[in-house]
Structure 1
Amino acid sequence: MIIKNGKIITWQNPNQILEDMALLIQNGVITKIGKFEDIKRAFPAEEVVDAGGQYVMPGNICAHTHFYGAFARGMAIPGMPAKDFPEILEKLWWSLDKSLSLEDVRYSALVCLIDAVKHGTTTLIDHHASPSAIRGSLDEIAQAVAQAGVRASLCYEVTDREGEKGAEEGIRENLRFIDLIKRNNPLPGKLAGMFGLHASLTLSEDTLRKCREAVADDVGFHIHVAEDPADEYDSLYKCGERVVDRLYRHGILGERSIAVHAVHVDVREVDLLAQTKTWVTHQPRSNMNNAVGMSQPEGMLRAGVRVCLGNDGFSNAMWEEWKTAYLAHKLWNRDPRRMPATTVVEMAVYNNRALAEQQFNIGPLGVICEGAQADLIFVDYHPFTELNEGNLPWHIVFGFHESMVTSTMVAGEFLMRNRQLLTLDEEKITYEARHLSSQTWQRFQNLFQVS
């Protein structure tokens, strides 16, 4: 197709905003950027899509999420409210994930992907857990990804909290899925795999050793790191070393691995993350909700750490995460100069893009240039002040809203057009999800009664 009459935000580095230019898309790739008349003359048979003066820009990327947490929305937790993060894990997440069936897993992913497509997120890196339904769980999510048409990287978070058998099943599920991706990827270019680990505080020395020995060096690990001080104290108690030091000793860190949160790391740990080129993801909405504190991505970036932006299972409207990052660090540090919008862009655009390109290995992602994947969104934003390359980050923080996304495209195919979902039946999926979630909630309640 040829997309005309759009104001094109390229997110190149440096960024450009192109007016009076058109995009030619062939086989899912942007093959030419130029004047509409010239492209149309050279390719007269191509369908013409009129963007109607909207902004045309790359789809957003989420560097860390949890599809499995969708059914927590509105769920009542028995007893007194959790007083700290370990209690949040025990009372909510470790009971919810244990209550999920394979069908729940698929529909949890589907409702999250509806949210992603509607709000302009085209690539997501997921971290899954369902201890009562491990085998085949990543296939269920992959089916949802195929149905939605987005790109996603998947893994299963191995943990010892269900004993040796549960840990071994988690290892096998990761290995099975990674082998599938390497040998016969059902969605080439749209599906990727990592090796998931929950967190240091739920992993024994023996399990970490088994995980490291099980996978090749070209496979990255995806693990929560020092989200709460409890993770650090647990590691010190078990091994006499801090979390990042422990993971480094086991060979878990590296240029293909993701360390999620890194809220309570010290200077030495930051240095190890930088030396090993380990990716770090920042999730400010989650950190605020769990009251675990706030990491220091500005300092980590200065130290050479590749910091990205995720959402930890919050809504897949990634501009909400941008806005939270921009504001939260000012309040946390009591300094309005902290976390400028350009730093948010460094994480959410440039570093997220580099991570996604590494995951899918299909060339440029998250950018508009010739040769890039055509993962695009149309945004119906009408600025009442000048918008240019220099002030765009602040327009996004203070002006853009996820409701302004009217169309979402991945690999040159519309997943939503003029606010109409084309690949997912929202009414049917949410109807089924409500039915399934009520059963999940009942199993959740039963776990509390047993305990």
Structure 2
Amino acid sequence: MLILGNGRVVTRNPECPYMEEGAVAIDGKVICKVGPTDELKKAYPDAEFIDAKGGVIMPAFINTHEHIYSSFARGLAINGYNPTGLLSILEGMWWTLDRNLTLNDTYLSAMATYIDSIKNGVTTVFDHHASFGAIKGSLFEIERAAKETGIRSCLCYEVSDRDGKDKARESVMENAEFIRHALKDDSGMIAGMMGMHAQFTISDETMELAAANKPDEVGYHIHVAEGIEDLHHCLKHYGKRIVDRLMDFNILGEKTLLGHCIYINPHEMDLIKDTNTMVVHNPESNMGNACGCPPTMELVHRGILTGLGTDGYTHDMMESFKVANILHKHHLCDPNAAWGEVPTMLFENNAKIAGRYFDQKLGVLEEGAAADVIIVNYNPLTPMNENNINGHLVFGVTGHDVVTTVANGKVLMKDRRLTEIDEAKVMADCRQAAAELGKRINSR
């Protein structure tokens, strides 16, 4: 038994959204009680107690679009890299990096990402992987890191024809093998999808190959209309818009996750809505790549299940929360925009998205829900109550304020110290591998 108490409890349970002084009791992998600290300590006198010291106790974060393979890109300078748009960013930076990754690089990239996720209070990750230098076994290396660090993960490999038909086939088979493996896993911590890069790098032949090797239980994870070039390619080569092409290949559906969706029109939104397909918004990446601002507020208003991700740009969901909040205000010239929509995406919709792949109830502190809980070192200057929780978080909290992270009932970090792994040793290995990767890239 474990109790996290003496804190302000933000439950995300509409029946009892906030407790000024409360606690969460955990039995094994699930929450067994939420209530006043004194009551829970009396009810479970032998439980281990972690003191929140007046901080905020809340559900751990879910990241619905991550790129683990990008971990070693921070500070990486590639000779001759001078991008002018999304395509040159992809070719010059990301595809250059992923073609040079070894399986060990993939494993260490995952360890680095998961460590940073834990330190930012993220316990569930939907990753979209690429390592065309070492495809076979790459998802299993990420799974190894996920199990070592304790992070719940839904994994896929981004299928693409960009490096030829043989590697496209190999990437499809990597997905298929991992999906079959994940479907047999009974831990509740691993899931798989059929990953795809984007329609402009995938031929009809490869689309058909992916469909033929995808089990019915899962969907696709694909970038959609991230850049205007993707739309132009689809119109030129197929005479249709992107979502129409995906519809023709039966890619849309309740288990499919579309990343970005910047250049889509109302007709495509209708298709996404009618097929109950999921969308994930990645504000910082879109801004950093100068791709444009997606119609995310309209997607939410239309009832499309839209979540919030980081696209590897950061592992701090609070950072993405802050940026999404101001991006849409700025883009729409409306100071009232995003106040409700973005918190809904982060705190409600991400949990609903995760619920389509994991049986445990995530994103809420209530009896029977998964024991994914964090403590945030935040003692508000102004009154805090159930009506202003999100205002406190967006203006007062960053991911680095997380001091304790619990996932699946296991304490992964306590008082900012990781409990399950030797962080110093892992990061030393990561630094060495990142330096060697940079040398390989710039020596070619």
TM-score by length of 2: 0.97
Residue correspondence of structure 1 range 50-449 to structure 2 within 5 A: 50-79=51-80, 81-183=82-184, 185=185, 188-340=187-339, 342-362=340-360, 364-447=361-444
Indicate the residue corresponding to 1:5 in structure 2: 6
Unaligned runs of 5+ in 1: none
Q: Percent identity?
A: 40
Using the alignment, how far apart are the partners of 1:401 and 1:165 within structure 2? 44
Using the alignment, how far apart are the partners of 1:387 and 1:120 within structure 2? 21
Unaligned runs of 5+ in 2: none
Task: Name the CA shift for 1:40/1:330 in 2 (closer, same or farther; >3 Å).
Answer: closer
Task: Name the CA shift for 1:93/1:19 in 2 (closer, same or farther; >3 Å).
Answer: same
Secondary structure of the structure 2 residue equivalent to 1:125: strand
1:100-158 superposed Cα distances (whole Å, 9 cap, x missing partner): 00000011111111111111111110000001111110111011111111111100111
Using the alignment, how far apart are the partners of 1:108 and 1:20 within structure 2? 39
What is the one-letter code of the residue matched to 1:255?
E
Task: Name the CA shift for 1:224/1:41 in 2 (closer, same or farther; >3 Å).
Answer: same
Task: Name the CA shift for 1:50/1:177 in 2 (closer, same or farther; >3 Å).
Answer: same
Give 1:14 deviation, angstroms: 6.1
Give 1:37 deviation, angstroms: 4.2
Kept after mapping to 2: 8 A contact 1:174/1:194: yes
Using the alignment, how far apart are the partners of 1:265 and 1:15 within structure 2? 38
What is the one-letter code of the residue matched to 2:345?
M
Using the alignment, how far apart are the partners of 1:419 and 1:356 within structure 2? 26
Using the alignment, how far apart are the partners of 1:19 and 1:338 within structure 2? 29
Secondary structure of the structure 2 residue equivalent to 1:179: helix
Note the aligned Cα RMSD (angstroms).
1.4
Kept after mapping to 2: 8 A contact 1:257/1:279: yes
1:250-297 superposed Cα distances (whole Å, 9 cap, x missing partner): 001100000000000111111111111111000000000000001011
Kept after mapping to 2: 8 A contact 1:153/1:193: yes
Give 1:337 deviation, angstroms: 2.3
Using the alignment, how far apart are the partners of 1:133 and 1:14 within structure 2? 49
Kept after mapping to 1: 8 A contact 2:81/2:92: no
Kept after mapping to 1: 8 A contact 2:54/2:379: no
Using the alignment, how far apart are the partners of 1:227 and 1:48 within structure 2? 46
Task: Name the CA shift for 1:390/1:207 in 2 (closer, same or farther; >3 Å).
Answer: same
Give 1:335 deviation, angstroms: 2.5
Kept after mapping to 1: 8 A contact 2:106/2:141: yes
Kept after mapping to 2: 8 A contact 1:378/1:406: yes
Kept after mapping to 2: 8 A contact 1:235/1:242: yes
Indicate the residue corresponding to 1:24 in structure 2: 25
Using the alignment, how far apart are the partners of 1:13 and 1:356 within structure 2? 19
Give 1:415 deviation, angstroms: 0.4
Give 1:209 deviation, angstroms: 1.3
Secondary structure of the structure 1 residue equivalent to 2:404: strand
Kept after mapping to 2: 8 A contact 1:56/1:379: yes
Secondary structure of the structure 2 residue equivalent to 1:12: coil
Using the alignment, how far apart are the partners of 2:314 and 2:364 within structure 1? 23
Kept after mapping to 2: 8 A contact 1:58/1:367: yes
Kept after mapping to 2: 8 A contact 1:115/1:315: no
Task: Name the CA shift for 1:74/1:14 in 2 (closer, same or farther; >3 Å).
Answer: farther
Give 1:331 deviation, angstroms: 1.8
Task: Name the CA shift for 1:40/1:433 in 2 (closer, same or farther; >3 Å).
Answer: closer
What is the one-letter code of the residue matched to 1:176?
E
Kept after mapping to 2: 8 A contact 1:114/1:424: no
Using the alignment, how far apart are the partners of 1:66 and 1:15 within structure 2? 35
Kept after mapping to 2: 8 A contact 1:298/1:343: yes
